[in-house]
Structure formats: C-alpha cells, structure tokens
Structure 1
Amino acid sequence: MSAKNDIAVVLGTRPEIIKLAGVIRNLGSRGSIHYTGQHYDDELSESFFRTFKLPAPQLLLNGISGEHRSIQISRATYQLAEHFRRVSPRLVIVQGDTNSALAGAQAANYCGIPVLHVEAGLRSNDRNMPEEINRRLVSVLADVHCAPTSWNAANLVSEGIPLYAVRVTGNTIVEATCESLPGVEESREILGKYGLCENEFILATIHRPENTDDPQRLAEIIDALCEAPIPVLFPVHPRTAESVRAFGLADRLSRIRRVPPLDYSTFLSLASHARLLISDSGGIQEECTIIKKPLVVVRRNTERPEALASGFAVRVRHRHEISEEITRILANSELARILVNRPCPFGDGKASERITEIALAVADGGALPPGERLGEFSYTCEPQVVQGGAVGRALLRSPVQRGSLAQ
C-alpha cells in the first residue's frame, strides 16, 4: 500500500465516529475509514459522517448490524482480516470498547499489523459488562495505548502494559464536544422547539442493559423521573422503548416528556442548557465535565471515575437515591458557579493532534519485527503518568463508590 490510505481507522458506532472524527481529518489522505456497520442506520450513524465532514468509508462490512455480539465480532473480524491481507495497512486504529474495536484489533493482530488503541485503559472492573471484556481484550492486542487520563494509564501499567507503549493524550471528546456545540441563536431556537426554558428542565437518558433489561429497575428509574419537581425531557433509546413496551410501563412513561433520539449537536445544546443531567451513558460522564453541568449517573459502577472524583457527577443505584440527588442538586444555588470554574479532567482539547502525531510516527516507522514492534520508538509516559501510576493503583484499591458533586 502507498503512503495514501495506509492507516486504517476501524469504527462502527456513533460514539466512535464522534470521537475519531478529529483524528481522521488530521490524518488526511493517510487515513481510511473501515466501517463495520455495527450501528447501521442513516438517522443514527451515516448522518454523523456528514455532520463531522468525514469522507465515505473505504470499506463497509455486511451482516453486522442487529446481530448477536458473538456474530458481530466474528463476522467483522473475518471481513476486516480478509481486507487487511489484501491492502496491508501500516497501522490500524481502534477506539474504546465496542464490538467493532475488538474485531479491528483482532483482525490487525492476526495480520501482523500494529494496533493503536484510542481511549485505552478505562476499567469498570465489572465483567458483566460486555464493554469491559472488549476493552480488556483490546489492551492485550494493542501495541500503542492512548490513555485519556493518568488514571487510565495507571490501570494499564498495573496490568503489565509497558510504560513505553502508553501515552496520556487526553480524550478526543473534548474537542468533539466544543466543535459540536451550537451557537447562541441556534441554541435558543432548539430550546423553543422543545418548549423549554434555560436551566428549568432535566435532560435524562437511559439505555444500558442493567437498567433496561430489569423491569423493576426500569420502573424505579421512570418513577423517580416522574417525581422530579421540574420538567424532564427524555430522548428514548430504541432499546428502552422496546423494554417499556415489553414490561408494560408505557402508562408510567407517559408522565415524562418523551422525544425521539437526538442528533449530537441538538443533544449537546439541550444538555448545556439543562439544570441537571441524569443518565447511564459513559459519554455523558465525559461531556458533563466539558459543558459544566451536574450529572446523576444511574449505574452499578463506572469506568470513568474522573467525573465523580472531580465533582461533576454522583453515582446512584436506587429510586430513593435518584430522588434525593435531584432534590439536593436543585436546591444548591451555588453549584452552577462552582462547576463553571472547575477544570475538565479529560484534557485540553488537543487529544486528536497528539494521537495523530503518534499514529503517523508508527506508520512511518515501517514494519517492526515480531515482539519489537515499538522497539525503535521512544514512547514514554509523561511525568504525571509515572506519578499517577502509584496514585492510580492506590485509588483502585479504594475506588470512588459514589462521588460527591462539587466537593
């Protein structure tokens, strides 16, 4: 393969498109998109390519969307490996913890191609989460690990990943969020469209299996949202909508202001003007620290403890905890002022630049001998990573259980 399109970027979901858009644009003609179609829907995925001004995928896989996880990973791995054998990219980039990321890392590794893992080192330590298994397996396969924070780097080092293979880059969500936030006039129009007043509503999203597959859990969450003293806008994920129908919860949900899934820019606009966010989303745990809004995380655990430790989020589990946090946060008149002045723990908005620089260096190094793929490079952690290793391991022994907003 020539220097053109010699870096393959594998993605298949909306979050991957959002978080890798800056890297893809920075790579220019060196990068090529390999789209697994894990989320294959023009409304939910292909429109994101247009929004972020990305080129059409060089490769679009078949038979992935809607299938069982095992089928998605096996089919994507096979098709990607067959393609990589033909075109021989110099580097494969994968993002996060999706089935697409695991398939891309496996296919590249099987073909002897170096793997760069973006958003490496996140850990929930909950093996019931498919994402936790995916991200851990990708860490085993990857050659370069771009960790968003020192905490993530500490996780990798504690698992035996060598320091020279780890870089703290920040999280690309910072620049993606800043780029996607609408201006004042557009935000005013969006609020008007949904009949909302700034800082006088709650924006809530629920979609994770731990909440949607358990009828009692889902009913508790819906009841807690219904009890909120200010309006709740609830974009309904397809999985959540199906569970509501299956569990007979439609009457309860009717008391909440429901809307279809939102495009990224609209969602960010509403989130940035909400009084409070309630969600089980991993991405929103990052975005709340950028738009400076309080978040109630409805989950057993989280792979993003930075949002809790920095005071932007609090994690809850049960109905009464959700209601208590809603009441407490809405009563805190100083919270907005405190959060505005609190730094984002996920970086300075230059992660895409750093990751691109690393990717080009690896690709330009040519083929590396087995077992020494990074031998000629000096990928070392920044000083705070070394310090963060010891601190991070100590934190992991006493993980953030719940968090406390703005403390």
Structure 2
Amino acid sequence: MQQIDQIKQQPNQQSHQILETSFQLSFQDKTYDAYLQVIDSRLEISIEILEQSQFNWKEQYSIEQIYKLNKFFLQCKDLNEAYQIISKIMKNSLKSISTNDSKMLVQFEFEQAYGKILFNLQLHQCEINTNDLVAKLYKTISTLQIKSNNQQKQLEQIIKDQSTQSTQNEQIKNLLAKQNEQMKDLAQQMQSLKAELSNQVQEIKNEITSNQHKIFSNIMSFEDGEIIKKWVSDKQINLLQIYRATINGFQIEKIYEQCKDKSKVIFLIKTKEGKRFGFNADFQIKNYNGYLAQNPNNIFLFSLDLKLKYTSNQSNYSDAFYSYNGGIAVGDGHDIYLKTNSNSNNSSYVSQSGYGQKEGLKKYALNGGLKNFTAIEVEIFEVTFI
C-alpha cells in the first residue's frame, strides 16, 4: 500500500478549520484520495476514487460520534487527539474498501497490546464537484507540458556544451532522437488527457441530468420522494436535504440553525420501531417561542408507511404550529410533537385531533398505533421549484 501524506496546521480562521491532511490509499488495484479535516468542531472524512473522480464519499463526526465508532476512541480527550489517531490508522491500517449504491464501507484493522482492533467507517456519496475535476485534469496536462519544456532545455544545453567536441556528436544525435520520441509520447498523452477531460465532463453532465431528482436519505426511498413531490405540487420540484439529525444533532436548536431562511420544507421522522411519518410546511421553521397562527392548508401530514397524505380538519387554526427551545409541534392538538434530543427519550408523540378526519386517519396510526416514540433519525428537505 503506497501513501502520499501532506499535513498542515492552520490558525482558526472564519471557517474554523483547525487541521487537515490528505494521502493516497491503494486497495485491489484501485487508488483512492483520502482527506481528513477538522472544521467547526467536527471531523470530516472524505474518500475519492481517482479512476472515477466524478464520485466522492464523505461524512462528518463530532467527538461524541467518534466515541461510538469504537470503544478504542474513548481514550481521546478531544477532537484534536481523535484526529491524530484516526489519521495514523487510515494511513497504515486499511483492510478493505467497498461501495454499495450511495454508500462506501471502509474497514481498518490495527494491532494494540491487547489484540487486533477493527475500525469501520460508513461514508455517503456527496454531490459532484465539476470544477475540481476539470482543475485536476488541467493540472496533469500542465505538469506534462512543464516536463516537456525542462527536457527540451536540458537537451539544448547539452548541444551547446558539446558542440565543439566531435566525439560527442553521435551521443547528441541519439539524445535528440530520444527527445523527439519523448515529445511525441508526451503529445499523445496530452491529446489523450484532453479527450479524457472532454469525455468525463460529458459523463458528469449526463450523471447530473440523470440524477437531478435523486434523493439521498436514511428515511425515504426514491419512490417515497416521488410520492411526496406529487403531494406537494403538480409542478416539477427538487428536494434538497438541509438537515440530518445523525449528522447535525438531535437538539431542536440545530433544526432552527439549519432551517434558517428556508420557507418551504419537508420534515421526516423515523422511529425506533421503524415507523416513518412527517409533515409539509410552507413557512420558516424557527423558534416562535409559542404558537404561530397559520393557515392549516399550508401544512399537511403524511405517512410514508401507509402512503397517505392527511389534510386539516378545519378551515382555520389559531394555533397551527408551535415551537420553542424544547420542541416543535404541528396542529392545535399537537398532531406531531417532536421533543429535543428525541433519540434519547420517549417524550415525543402523535395525537390525531387536527388532521386526517377526511382521510379516515385512526388514532395514533402515524406511529403504528403507539402514542409516544423515540426517534432514530430526523431529516428536513428544502422544496425548490425547477
């Protein structure tokens, strides 16, 4: 396994980036670029397949999430120390890399005094960065051009220095012939790289076109997303994920931060029992520190398991939405109430009082007949019109 390592420490600038490192990994005749960064008190890990540079897999971890990856990391007192240890492990202990749909599974195995330790990462495919790909290919072309120019200068210097020595004429001729062959090879490589650049840019455009409606979610499938789009509007729309609790945190304040300035969103919840439900809101999700008077038609509830949409029982509510530091609720009777840190308590609940009468929604049906629930994932998608 060959690795190229580059580490640099930066001051705490506006991005709050503290550390970053990049290196190469090799596994089963494939070469990967790996990156580690500490940004905004989170460790970001990303891996890119060099032969398929239009794809990139990435995930972010807080120090608490790193502890959960393996008990071994409980020895780390802060994110800086965890970064140093994970960097060393990734450079020296790669065991396997595999990709499955939009996920990349990476496994490391390293020796400790008390035996072998396995460290597993699950990264998610992220958006394509066309500019980075184009820049990388152009950099390769530029490197080849510089190499060609340097060789030409070396040959000219040899010819100049040895021009008066007849015994060196044959050597100079051989060098010139060799240089000409190298120039031809470099020209062919440059032509091939330009063709590759053109092909990969076209592939990226095709990939973007074919996947422009693709939804990356831990809760809903592609088919679920298409159903939600039809519920929201008869026009073409996109669903862009702006919040995922397992990455951003289960605190209600984190939801307010991620939903800032977003006026139309889809809110999804997945419970410990695997029930999936949520609501649509045509207004900003923020801390109103109480009730928000809102036209109930701007909100609808839905169940992904039942494939049903539920509308308001009345034409108007004075208490259509409720929010504060400790929770969020929709409907005047708290049809869906999500409490902060919903993954570590059973205080969140559903109650059918304001929605679903026309659609025959039964009591607690959103949560499979149970009132209270514990969430294992919460996701929010911004709705944008194409």
Larger Rg: 2
TM-score, normalised via structure 2 length = 0.25
Structure (1 or 2) with the greater helix fraction: 1
Structure (1 or 2) with the greater strand fraction: 2
